[in-house]
Structure 1
Amino acid sequence: MYFKKAEREILSELEILFEYKHENIISLVGYCDENNERISVFEYACNGSLDRHLSNTSLTWTKRLKIGIDVAMGLDFLHRGGSTHAAPVIHRDIKSATTKW
């Protein structure tokens, strides 16, 4: 029962990621679920994950503030329902590290 609920939640999140496109949100390129293995393919992030980028001690506070504002703009886009004003997406698990399912 728990597995089916988790599976539905993952598929729902993937559908949302396919639908909502914004410059401050990394896009989902594809997804595969075969032979009990799941693979999500996201657009290439040339600077690596946000947590790795933020751990750079040479990053200025001005740049950190810009990153925070960009993150807020991406969340605002989701909360307003994207560019098509679809259902709002309230993300409950914001973190700078990459996620493994």
Structure 2
Amino acid sequence: ETEQFERRHNNDLRELYRRPNILSYIRSKRFEWLGHIWRADGRIIKQAMIAKMTGKRPLGRPRTRWKDSVVKDLRVLQERAQVDIAYNREEWNKFVMAALDLNGPLSCI
């Protein structure tokens, strides 16, 4: 040991400490919540998720909605038409774990 700092890249640190990418982790948590909402048939939470809001939005850049982030992530994963697998918890958990294994930013947080 020469008592000098060694520069390491983020990927090296992730492998060293065996931690997932924070963006992948957040994405997988989003999908966990989406599965929870999707299985809530007849409840207000699912109705709010599916409903189209009426009225005017404020001027300026539109705010990023949670739903927009999920749709963008699903598009990247090419599973947009497969949200119905949320009813099968085993299959949905496999999907969530697959999202956790992906590296890199898919959507802004």
TM-score normalised by structure 2 residue count: 0.28
Structure with bigger helix share is: 2
- Higher relative contact order at CA 8 Å, sep ≥6: structure 1 or structure 2? 2
| Bigger CA radius of gyration | 2
TM-score normalised by structure 1 residue count: 0.29
